[in-house]
Amino acid sequence: MKKFFPLLFCLLLHSFLFAQELNVNVTINTPKLQTADPKVFETLETAITEFMNNQKWTNDVFEEDERIKVDLVITITDELSPTSFKADLAVQSVRPVFGSTYQTPLLKHNDKDMVFFYEEYQPLEYSQTAFQDNLTSILSFYAYIILGLDYDSFSLFGGEPYFQEAQDIISLIPPTVARNFKGWRSTDSNRNRYWLIENLLTPRTRAFRQAIYDYHRQSLDIMYKDPATARAIMRQAIEAIGEVNNNYPNSMILQTFANTKVDEIVEIFKNGTSQEKEKVIRVMQRVDAPHASAYRKIRG
């Protein structure tokens, strides 16, 4: 019996240590800092890192090597007061590709509407049922977006509960906060948090999420053993995304996908057939006109 309790403690400790889902690296840049103490941002960087990495976001257990790799880069653009700041938030997450050492990007996004209050050593706390502050709401929102995209890439519509959690965060934002802190309302912009989650949950883009699953699980994950079949499936996924663009033109999620995947698509289809190249170029230039010249590089 005496041996049982240390063993039980070790098992519980192992479960705790390897239960968290995210492996987030946080960088805070302060290129225009004038009045605030730089030490404040050192503690903020630590606080955000601990908040993102130590919070239990799902009911699943992740081993250390299964945790989702995320980079958060916060660039302070304005000091509104000694304890309030405006910033750009760059979010990037990746996913491993089966049978390779390659990490495919799932999200590359820049949120320019990050405004928050923070005092040195202020604890960051998350609640599923109540608004705490704008900083933790933004961080939690992107944690669930990252989880949703990752789960969608491994199982068909597997990210649904996490996208719903992101939607719930928006529903908890008090009206006064939504008026004073941009990014939460449809009227603030057509490229913000409101539209990101709207695009992911609306039936109008359901085929996009099917395509995300096909692109990753059915294509990238078999690329190591059957490149030709993998490219054919990926081309079909891209054509499906093109159809979504026809039904919901200029939607934010398609632009986010294109910004995330442009380099990868170009490199993969440089090795495609002439027919594949032309179909992908034609679709992606419609979906992602700003990168039209990049897609022409597919031809070699």
What integer pLDDT is reported at residue 4 of this predicted model? 44
Burial status of residue 284 (CB atoms within 10 A of its CB: 0-12, 13-18, 19 or more):
buried
Token pair, residue 274, equals: 């002439």
Token pair, residue 252, equals: 């934010």
Q: What is the arithmetic mean of pLDDT over 244-265?
A: 97
- Give the least confident one: 4-8, 27-31, 239-243, 253-257: 4-8
Sheet of 84-96, strand order: 22-29, 68-81, 84-96, 103-117
Which band of pLDDT confidence, cut at 50, 70 and 90, is reported for residue 241? very high
Q: Which residues share a beta bridge with 91? A: 72, 109
pLDDT tens for 209-222 read 999 999 999 999 99
Q: Is the pLDDT of residue 12 over 90?
A: no
pLDDT tens for 101-144 read 999 999 999 999 999 999 999 999 999 999 999 999 999 999 99
Handedness of CA 30, 36, 37, 41 (dihedral sign): negative
Let me know the angle formed at the C-alpha of 146 by 142 and 151, rounded to the nearest 5 degrees. 145
What integer pLDDT is reported at residue 19 of this predicted model? 57
What integer pLDDT is reported at residue 9 of this predicted model? 45
* pTM of the predicted model as reported, rounded to 2 decimal places: 0.93
Q: Is the pLDDT of residue 170 over 60?
A: yes
Average pLDDT taken over every residue of the chain? 93
Token pair, residue 108, equals: 């590359």
Q: Which residues share a beta bridge with 89? A: 74, 111
Residue 53, classed as helix, strand or coil, is: helix
What integer pLDDT is reported at residue 300 of this predicted model? 86
Q: Is the pLDDT of residue 31 over 70?
A: yes
Token pair, residue 46, equals: 């630590």
Q: What is the arithmetic mean of pLDDT over 241-248?
A: 97
Q: What is the arithmetic mean of pLDDT over 174-203?
A: 97
Q: Name the CA dihedral angle for 273, 275, 277, 278, rounded to a multiple of 10 degrees.
A: 160
Q: What is the arithmetic mean of pLDDT over 81-103?
A: 97
Q: Is the pLDDT of residue 243 over 80?
A: yes
Q: How far apart are CA 21 and CA 1, in angstroms?
A: 33
Q: What is the arithmetic mean of pLDDT over 260-278?
A: 98
Token pair, residue 299, equals: 């031809």
What integer pLDDT is reported at residue 34 of this predicted model? 83
Asked if 23 and 70 count as a contact pair (C-beta separation under 8 A), the reply is yes
Token pair, residue 198, equals: 């709207």
Which band of pLDDT confidence, cut at 50, 70 and 90, is reported for residue 50? very high
Q: Is the pLDDT of residue 237 over 70?
A: yes
What integer pLDDT is reported at residue 3 of this predicted model? 46
Burial status of residue 220 (CB atoms within 10 A of its CB: 0-12, 13-18, 19 or more):
buried
- Give the least confident one: 33-37, 151-155, 252-256, 285-289: 33-37
What integer pLDDT is reported at residue 30 of this predicted model? 94
* Residue 235: φ, ψ to 5°: -60, -40
